[in-house]
Amino acid sequence: MRRLVLGLAAVLAMGVFQTWAQDPQNQPQLNVRANAPHELRDTTPKPVSSADTDKTDAVYTVAAGTRVPLVMKQGVTTKNARPGDPVYAQTAFPVAQNNHIVIPAGTFVQGVVQRVVRPGRVKGRAELQMSFTSLIFPNGYTILLPGAVQGTPGSQNEQMKGDEGTIQGPGNKGKDVGTVVGTAIPGAGIGAIASGAKGAAVGGLAGGALGLASVLLTRGPEVQLGIGDSVEMVIERNIDIDKSKVNRSDQ
């Protein structure tokens, strides 16, 4: 009888042990992450989003130093221009990049008068400084500019002064001398007819004085840019042009 009881107890104990061993909730949990010598990393390549694409795929970059020929659409002269006055021009020739037109001909260019110097009556040349501030494409797309005057092609009078984009008017010395001499000679001739050699001298002095007075009262030549005159603009800093907005020949 005792053996029978012990056998039944052994069988019951074995059944409990097997049930406990099969139940995962009763098994000790191993911290595999803590004991792993190296953590596995996901090396699967991830797709590149549109935000990560290169900026050059969306814009044209026009480099600093690019020269753009312009045609004046409104006259500007040192005689009546004032700092802050607007300047209106238009591109005369397209700017191309990688077989695409980046800035088409006919693009409007807006600027502003920065400085005006009137010519002196005795010395000092006229000076006009302008800067260009924006490009307006035919479809209305607008870009801010840092542009300056590089030159005035075709002009026989104006020239550039310094690196700040200043247009300088011609000198007046030759004309002044001609004015003095031109008035002195007729005065001498009239004096000679009236009183001989002495009268010629007096008449010459009187004519010269009249010419000198005329020079002192008259200003030198002004800087004048008329409608249709050529001006060369230089872009002073890189500018980005949105490919989706600019009119191109391949659209």
Q: How confident is the model at residue 209 (pLDDT cuts 50, 70, 90)?
A: low
- Helix (H) / strand (E) containing 78: none
The structure tokens listed for 237 are 């800093």
Q: Is the pTM of this model over 0.75?
A: no
β-bridge partners, 68:
233
pLDDT at 32: 46
Q: How confident is the model at residue 52 (pLDDT cuts 50, 70, 90)?
A: very low
Q: Give the distance, in angstroms, between the CA of residue 169 and the centroid of all CA atoms in the same chain.
A: 25
β-bridge partners, 97:
100
pLDDT of 250 above 50 = no
β-bridge partners, 231:
70
The structure tokens listed for 103 are 């800035």
- Residue 70 · residue 233 · CB < 8 Å: yes
Q: How confident is the model at residue 71 (pLDDT cuts 50, 70, 90)?
A: very high
pLDDT at 149: 93
Whole-angstrom Cα distance, residue 42 to residue 50? 22
Pick from 133-137, 147-151, 152-156: least confident: 152-156
Instruction: Give me the count of residues in the chain.
Output: 251
Question: Of the spans 19-23, 48-52, 163-167, which averages the highest pLDDT?
Answer: 163-167
> What is the SS3 assignment for 124?
coil
pLDDT of 212 above 90 = no
DSSP letter for each residue of 152-210? -TT-SS-EEETTTTEEEPPP-HHHHHHHHHHHHHHHHHHHHHHHHHHHHHHHHHHHHHH
Q: Which CATH class is domain 56-171+220-242?
A: mainly beta
User: What are the pLDDT digits (tens) for 9-47?
Assistant: 665 556 545 654 555 555 555 454 545 455 555 555 555
Hey, where are the domains in the chain? 56-171+220-242, 173-207
Q: How confident is the model at residue 180 (pLDDT cuts 50, 70, 90)?
A: very low
- Residue 241 · residue 60 · CB < 8 Å: yes
